[in-house]
């Protein structure tokens, strides 16, 4: 069979189909090489997780999921994907690509059945934040390890989007390290391109809904810096009475698509700096916002967290600015120093954009995925 006729199935969280139907001009990075597959292969399918339905089978699966979640602290939602229509798509596939570990773990029953009936199907999934030490009890660590080892055994490739997590996985799960590939998360540089001159921009942008963002601290920072204008794009700040006059609060998230990708791009373009105050965590956080902003030529100031995804490539004061400790004084100084320094702004904008173009480019990402899958050659 010619490679171009292979059936490739992508498995996503909710929202991709809706985005494809609504708007052609979208950023492509959260589709994880789907568009590359559509352009180069004849038979490409999408499977999405779905909402809970009031059926006995769904009720049973949700109870099962709740038990497994408590035992493992893993994001498993089999009720959202274990359906007859999805089983057929899995069994008919030559390649199945899961967009993240939540989708992969939720698909475990389908993976088990598919591998038994069609052992030649090639399965891969992307990982970001799987090894974040969430176990509270010893029994959770034990059962979590069993489930993780099981899925590593069944799949062919595991793409780690962060270097720290990739290195950790190779040291902890040495048996499967040949399946592990480090492939840094990359952005759609053809989409995230600037149209404006930053010296004309006055706003400071804070965007995102990640649980590790320090929203309370960011509000305090805006209160303290009353002479500076801020855009806050998030669903996590709901107390509007606490919003200072220098903040424009916009309720939005990628999943709800309150704002289109084009509108988000305009906010980056209209901002002088993007800020990311983050609570210290070993989990990668703020990656997509950092890469999108840098691709746009909007310099980034962010917390120097333990879970930063690639400290070897991103150099402080060369590509972005790290703040070592989240104090109001440290952040205020970092923002004022950069905001008023045109030369440094341009220096970071140019270096940051070049780094993304050369190393975090979705076009290169897509090619590497299909090289690993051995699908770029007939």
- pLDDT score of 131: 82
Contacts of 28 by beta carbon, 8 Å cutoff, 6+ apart: 34, 35, 188, 191, 362
The class (CATH top level) of 198-359 is alpha beta
- The Cα 375–Cα 343 span in angstroms is 45
- The Cα 192–Cα 264 span in angstroms is 10
Residue positions counted in the chain: 378
> Are 3-186+361-372 and 198-359 equal in CATH topology?
yes
Spell out the per-residue pLDDT of the chain, length 378, in tens: 567 789 999 999 998 998 888 767 899 999 999 999 999 999 999 999 999 998 999 999 999 999 999 999 999 999 999 999 999 999 999 999 999 999 999 999 999 999 999 999 999 999 988 887 667 789 999 999 999 999 999 999 999 998 888 999 999 999 999 999 999 999 999 999 987 665 567 899 999 998 899 999 999 999 999 999 999 999 998 887 789 999 999 985 555 567 889 999 999 999 999 999 999 987 788 999 999 999 999 999 999 998 888 888 999 999 999 999 999 999 999 999 999 999 999 999 999 999 999 999 999 999 999 999 999 865
- The Cα 216–Cα 194 span in angstroms is 30
- pLDDT score of 335: 98
- The Cα 110–Cα 125 span in angstroms is 14
Contacts of 200 by beta carbon, 8 Å cutoff, 6+ apart: none
User: Of the candidates 362, 370, 371, 13, which has an alpha carbon nearest to the alpha carbon of residue 184?
Assistant: 362
- pLDDT score of 378: 54
- pLDDT score of 242: 86
Contacts of 53 by beta carbon, 8 Å cutoff, 6+ apart: none
Can you give the residue ranges of every domain in the chain?
Answer: 3-186+361-372, 198-359
First to last CA, the chain: 9
Could you tell me the fold of the domain covering 3-186+361-372?
Answer: Rossmann fold (3.40.50)
């Amino acid at each position: 069979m010619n490679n171009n006729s292979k059936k490739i199935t992508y498995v996503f969280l909710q929202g991709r189909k809706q985005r494809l139907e609504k708007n052609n001009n979208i950023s492509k990075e959260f589709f994880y090489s789907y568009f590359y597959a559509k352009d180069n292969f004849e038979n490409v399918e999408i499977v999405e997780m779905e909402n809970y339905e009031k059926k006995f089978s769904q009720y049973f699966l949700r109870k099962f999921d709740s038990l497994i979640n408590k035992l493992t602290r893993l994001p498993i939602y089999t009720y959202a994907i274990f359906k007859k229509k999805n089983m057929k798509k899995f069994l008919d596939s030559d390649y199945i690509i899961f967009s993240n570990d939540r989708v992969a773990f939720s698909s475990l029953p389908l993976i088990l059945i598919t591998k038994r009936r069609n052992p030649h199907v090639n399965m891969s999934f992307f990982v970001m934040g799987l090894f974040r030490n969430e176990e509270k009890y010893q029994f959770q660590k034990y059962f979590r390890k069993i489930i993780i080892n099981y899925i590593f055994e069944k799949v062919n490739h595991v793409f780690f989007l962060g270097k720290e997590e990739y290195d950790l996985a190779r040291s902890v799960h040495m048996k499967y390290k040949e399946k592990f590939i480090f492939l840094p998360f990359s952005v759609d540089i053809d989409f995230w391109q600037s149209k404006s001159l930053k010296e004309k921009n006055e706003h400071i942008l804070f965007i995102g809904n990640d649980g590790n963002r320090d929203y309370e601290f960011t509000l305090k920072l805006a209160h303290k810096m009353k002479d500076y204008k801020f855009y806050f794009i998030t669903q996590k700040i709901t107390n509007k009475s606490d919003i200072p006059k220098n903040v424009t609060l916009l309720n939005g998230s990628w999943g709800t698509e309150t704002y289109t990708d084009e509108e988000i791009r305009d906010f980056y373009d209209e901002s002088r700096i993007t800020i990311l105050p983050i609570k210290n965590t070993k989990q990668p956080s703020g990656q997509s916002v950092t890469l999108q902003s840098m691709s746009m030529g909007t310099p980034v100031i962010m917390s120097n967290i333990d879970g930063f995804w690639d400290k070897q490539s991103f150099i402080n004061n060369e590509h972005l600015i790290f703040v070592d400790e989240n104090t109001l004084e440290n952040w205020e100084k970092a923002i004022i120093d950069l905001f008023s320094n045109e030369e440094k702004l341009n220096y970071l904008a140019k270096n940051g954009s070049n780094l993304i173009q050369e190393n975090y480019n979705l076009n290169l990402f897509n090619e590497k995925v299909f090289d690993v899958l051995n699908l770029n050659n007939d």
